[in-house]
Amino acid sequence: MYIKSFFKYQNSYLDDKEYKKLLKSITDFDLRRISKFNLLALYGSINATKDIDLDKNPTIYIATNNACVDEIYRVLKELKDTNDVAPFDFLGINTNNTGFYISKALGINALSYTISSSDLILEKSLELAFNDYKNSVSNSFLIGLTDSSMQNISQDRSKTQDNSSWLYLDGTKDGSKALIKDLKFFSSLDHLNLHLQTISYKNIILNAPTKELSDEILINKNSNLLFGDIFFAIEHTHKNSLYIATNSKRRSYLITLETL
C-alpha cells in the first residue's frame, strides 16, 4: 500500500468563519451550513489530495477522538435553553455527514467510515485500510485524523487543538512517497520485542508514548533512533524503516515503511 500524499494540520483554535476563509482559497464547494468539524475535515482532505490523481472510488476513514464535540455542545445548550434543535445543528452532530461532504468536494464516490478507539486512532484506521487492501476490499484510501479543539467547552481542555491530518494511499507505485510494507499489532511489549529480533531495519521511529518505554524495547543498536508521529515517520523514512506507536496499555502498532 503506497502513500501518495499527506498533509498535517494542527492549530490551537480557529472558528468556523476562519476555516471557511481558508477553504475558499482552495475550493469552490458550497460551504454554507457546514459544521466546524466538517470544515476542518474538508480543509485537511482537500489539502492532502490537491496535487495528486485521486481514484474516483476510494474508501474514506475519518479517525476521531471526540467527533463533533463543538456541535454536540451547541445542541446541548440549545436543549437546555430553548428545548429546540435546529435541523442543521442536528445534522452537525452526525459524523457520517463528513464523508458525504468530502466526496462531494473532491468529486469522488467514496464509502466513508468514522472510526474511533481508546487511542492510536489514526493507526487503528490505517490498520483497517491495510486489512481492506490485503483482503482486496478496496485499493485506495483517504485517511484522516480530525478533531477540534475543546477550548470553548472547558478551560481544562484548552490544551486540545484543531487537528486535520490526512494521508492518501493506493496500490500503485508511481509518484508515491513511501510504501507501507507491513502493519502489525502486538498486544504486549514482549510480543513486540520477539518480533523485532526477527527483522532488520535501518531507521526506527517511536511515537511519544513509545519513547517513554524505549528502554524496554529491544532496538537494534545499529539503527537510527528517531522520535515522532506517523507523518514524521513518513518524512524520515529510508529503506527499511519501522514506526512504532504504543498506547497506555503497552500495546503497539508496528508499521514497516520503505522509500522507493
Residues that bind another protein (CB under 8 A): 65-67, 69, 72-73, 75-76, 79-80, 83-87, 89-91, 93-100, 103-104, 109-120, 124, 128, 131-132, 134-135, 137, 150, 153-154, 157, 185, 187, 247, 251
Minimum distance, C-beta of residue 125 to another protein, in the bound complex (Å): 9
Task: Say how many C-beta atoms besides its own lie within 10 A of residue 67's C-beta.
Answer: 19
C-beta of residue 150 within 8 angstroms of C-beta of residue 71: no
For another protein, the closer of residues 61 and 168 by Cβ is 61
Q: Which is nearer to another protein, 106 or 178 (CB)?
A: 106
**88 CA to centre of own chain:** 26
* C-beta closer to another protein: residue 73 or 231: 73
User: Measured between alpha carbons, how far is 242 from 224 in angstroms, rounded to an integer?
Assistant: 10
Instruction: For another protein, give the closer residue by CB, 102 or 234.
Output: 102
For another protein, the closer of residues 5 and 97 by Cβ is: 97
CB of 193 to another protein, least distance (A): 16
The least distance separating another protein from the CB of residue 224, rounded to whole angstroms, comes to: 29
Q: Which is nearer to another protein, 145 or 178 (CB)?
A: 145
Assigned C-alpha cell, 136: 482486496
- DSSP one-letter code for 12: S
d(CA 154, CA 231): 29
Query: Shortest distance, CB of residue 159 to another protein, whole angstroms?
Result: 14
Choice between 71 and 170, CB closer to another protein: 71
Question: What CA–CA distance (Å, rounded) separates 40 from 28?
Answer: 16
Pair 169, 1: CB distance under 8 Å: yes
Q: Tell me the three state secondary structure of residue 5.
A: strand
Work out how close the CB of 177 gets to another protein at its nearest, in angstroms, rounded to a whole number: 27
* Residue 178: CB minimum distance to another protein, A: 23
Cell 531507521 found at: 203
Whether residue 144 contacts residue 61, with contact meaning beta carbons closer than 8 Å, is answered with: yes
Smallest gap from residue 259 Cβ to another protein (A): 27
Contact 20, 31 (CB under 8 A): yes
Pairing verdict, β 140-147 and 59-63: parallel
